[in-house]
Amino acid sequence: MVDLLALDRAAVEINLALYDNLAPDDFDRTTPCAGWTVRDLLRHQVESSLDFVAGAHRTTPRPFDEDDLVAEFHRAAAEVADAFGAAGMLDREADFPGLTAMPGNRLVAAHFVDNLVHSWDLRRALGVDATLDEDLAGPAYRMALKYPYTPEVRGPGAFFAHPVPVLDTAPLTDRLVGLLGRDPS
């Protein structure tokens, strides 16, 4: 059985380590996310994490300080870990903005996939090896294969762009990011 909480924490930790080591100039680098800089990606990850916390608690997201996004991402990551680790969270119903109610385990899985793929975005922006650990990419790929092809989930203004064609023989990282609308090349 897959330990969703461990997978999610591992993906978040990758991002935390990358953000903790940014130089001031790195925030203005472009990412594979159309029109986003590293700063925009970090802002998105803070906002998204707070949306996941609110979904777990079935409340509204808290505001955050845009002037210290790295510290806010650390706080949001701790809040996500607490919310997801609450007794019964994986089995009870949760919410996520823009989607219908879902089981808590699906909410955690979505957070995991989102964070793992954003670590690829960030690595690409920083010009470092973006190959994802197969122990993380494998489960993320299997989870992402189940994402529906609805306008809320895929396409312009949705959570993910339409998939980019990638060969079945391509590395797992390329197949995962392609499935979620990123061009691995």
pLDDT at 29: 98
CA distance 92 to 80: 16
CA distance 141 to 137: 6
What percent of the chain is predicted at pLDDT more than 70? Answer: 98
What's the structural domain count of the chain?
Answer: 1
Q: Answer yes or no: is 89 within a domain.
A: yes
Q: Answer yes or no: is 80 within a domain.
A: yes
Tens digits of per-residue pLDDT, 7-27? 999 999 999 999 999 999 999
Tens digits of per-residue pLDDT, 120-159? 999 999 999 999 999 999 999 999 999 888 887 888 878 8
Q: Answer yes or no: is 91 within a domain.
A: yes
pLDDT at 26: 98
- The mean-pLDDT minimum among 85-89, 117-121, 151-155 falls in 151-155
Q: Domain of 37: which CATH number?
A: 1.20.120.450
- State the pTM of this model: 0.95
Query: What rounded mean pLDDT belongs to the chain?
Result: 94
Which has the closest alpha carbon to 172: 126, 121, 133, 145? 133
Number of H helices, E strands in the chain: 6, 2
pLDDT at 150: 80
Tens digits of per-residue pLDDT, 50-75? 999 999 999 999 999 999 999 999 99
Range of the domain at 142: 4-179
Residue 100 has pLDDT above 80, yes or no: no
Q: Answer yes or no: is 185 within a domain.
A: no
- The secondary structure of 59-81 as a DSSP string is SPPPP--TT-HHHHHHHHHHHHH
> What tokens does 176 get?
């995962």
Q: Answer yes or no: is 104 within a domain.
A: yes
Q: Answer yes or no: is 184 within a domain.
A: no
